Amino acid sequence: MINKKMQDALNTQINLEQYSAQLYLAMSAHCDGMSFKGFAHWLRIQAGEETAHAMKLIDFLLDRSGKLDLKPIAAPPTEFGGVIQVFEMILAHEKGITEKINALFALARTEKDYASEITLQWYVTEQVEEESNVGQIVDHLRAVGDQGGGIWYLDSRMGKRAAK
């Protein structure tokens, strides 16, 4: 059975993953509103992945006979600016999530909760991938700028993202 400290920390992370899904869904709608259908599509898939991250933690918590303690999910912002700003915001958000995952991992170690540590390894790896992917998108966006044909080319490429 999972201890209370670890259970509380995992419940907090579940809420954060759900918030990430909300945030990316709001950003997707924002990009859709600017007719950037490809960026909107990419973000919609990302929102689904964040929900999957939450579900994976929920399953783990339940497998350990933990108590799921769902809390209200904070409302995301409604204004995001241009596409470059959207992705810069995502990069900053994911860096913050990485810090949370690292802190959770450290807690699992302190608590000698090896099962949590092993499960959280997946999240540590996932954060490396997320920061790298989003960092690349930010670089490409900064290179082409908010105006002109380049951003529409990027939009069409983003529209090709397939769900995992």
Nearest approach in angstroms of CB 46 to ligand OFO is 7
Q: In angstroms, rounded to a whole number, what is the distance separating the alpha carbons of residues 129 and 122?
A: 11
Q: Does residue 140 come out as left (phi exceeding 0), alpha (psi in the -120 to 50 range) or beta?
A: alpha
Which of 88, 113, 130, 155 touches ligand OFO by CB under 6 A?
130
Q: Is the sign of the CA dihedral 30, 71, 65, 97 positive or negative?
A: positive
Q: In angstroms, rounded to a whole number, what is the distance separating the alpha carbons of residues 12 and 89?
A: 21
- How many residues of this chain bind ligand OFO (CB under 6 A)? 8
Q: Is 155 in the site for ligand OFO (CB under 6 A)?
A: no
Neighbouring CB atoms inside 10 A of 52's CB total 14
Q: Is 25 in the site for ligand OFO (CB under 6 A)?
A: no
Q: Is 94 in the site for ligand OFO (CB under 6 A)?
A: yes
116/151 with CB nearer ligand OFO: 116
Q: Is 97 in the site for ligand OFO (CB under 6 A)?
A: yes
108/151 with CB nearer ligand OFO: 108
